[in-house]
Structure 1
Amino acid sequence: MIELLAALSASAAAGIRIALPLLFIGLLQGGNLWSQVPILSQISSPVLLAILTSWSCFELFASKKLIGQRFLQIIQLLLSPLVGAIMGLAVASATATPSWLIALIGGMLALVLQLVQIGWFFRLRGLPLWATFIQDTLCIALVFFAFDAPRQGGLIALIMLWFAVGSGKYWYRRYRRYTRQKYYQPD
């Protein structure tokens, strides 16, 4: 159960940012970097370090501007399920749960959190600067929690999922209210 909570924590981090959690996972593993991470273990460590460092810096700086947020959303929407699955598998490698199930849960959690971010982006017409700083801090904290305190990290990931479901319900009620007002007004 602890490994599943750690996988949820790491996958939630991938639902916020893409390269930053992968970079931290590699750095937290010490000298062997990404040798235990599926898919990434096939790529040379110096090349992967350069790619993830440059993309992490780009994510951190581009997320502070509106045009950068729009560009990142497209990339993150496409890659978040894959990165969420990789993060889940990297953290929960020694569990009795089938790896395909961990990959599926991690990828879906990352995708759901990414969709909620996109929804709030369009609802607010761009994420405010303070929200992007919270996202960056939360992303890094979730990676650390996945290794050092998986129960707390898993709990934070489940709270984020609860918030995502609540946001979806809010948007659906708002949509229903709008369509009722638009189509059922007496003439």
Structure 2
Amino acid sequence: MIITELLAVLSISAAVGLRLALPLLLIGLLSGPALWSNVPILSQLSPSLVVGILAGWSLCELVVFKDRTSRQMLQNIELFFSPFVGAIAGIAIARTVELSGWLVGLVGVVGGLLALVIQLFQTGWLYRPQRPPVWLLFLQDFLCVSLVLLAFDAPQQGGLIALLLLWLIIRNSSAWRQWYLSSRRSS
């Protein structure tokens, strides 16, 4: 059924929105001996090169970039690449579940947009006056890995978590807008 596949794409795209390289690395490792055969662009490159680049970037996401200045630099880079990587991951899941035709392109667009929205929210959170606590960054890492695993094993649950995450982002963004408008009126 197409709803299940769409929920799997939402799950993987939300994971890409949280962390960029880690979901792609996990897709390759979970796909078995045919590393990245369904992933556009990455299937054309040497698997050892792809593993090296994605492992290095994932290590930077998970360990190195936990302080504010490094996190801002990483966030700006990830904001630029998130729609492309979200589309690539969405297309990879669509190919894995054997969707065909125009649905693959549509799924890629939806995946890219969801990843971009989540990255935009994270960028906005990072530039607020109060810095997010470190435990929240580790929670993002856990949620990212969980969403990738759920995309393969339980796409309904992963997709619902992704939709819940999108709802929280929309709700929080409207609260930020109200805060901004009220601070602008008072000054």
Please give the TM-score of this superposition, normalised by the length of structure 2.
0.93
1:185: which partner in 2? none
Following TM superposition, the consecutive aligned residue runs of length 4 or more in structure 1 with deviations greater than 4 angstroms are: none
Deviations, residues 66-115 of structure 1 (Å, cap 9, x unaligned): 12211110111011111111111111222356222111110110010011
> Deviation string for 1:19-74 (max 9, x for gaps)?
10000000000011101111111111011011111111111113321122111101
What is the distance in 2 between the residues matched to 1:128 and 1:50? 30
- Shift in Å at residue 143 of structure 1? 0.3
Correspondence for 1:39 among 41, 52, 75: 41
Amino acid at match of 1:39: I
Please report how far the alpha carbon of residue 124 of structure 1 lies from its aligned counterpart in structure 2 after TM superposition: 4.9
Gaps of 5+ in 2: none
The one-letter code matched in structure 1 to 2:70 is: G
Q: CA RMSD in A?
A: 1.2
TM-score (norm 1): 0.93
Identity level (%): 49
Figure out how many residues of one structure are paired with residues of the other and give that number: 182
- Matched to 2:74, the amino acid is L
- Rg larger in 1 or in 2? 1
Q: Equivalent residues in 2 for 1:142-157 (5 A)?
A: 142-157=147-162
Letter in 1 for 2:54: L
Indicate the residue corresponding to 2:56 in structure 1.
Answer: 54
From 161, 165, 171, the equivalent of 2:170 is 165
Q: Which amino acid aligns with 1:133?
A: F
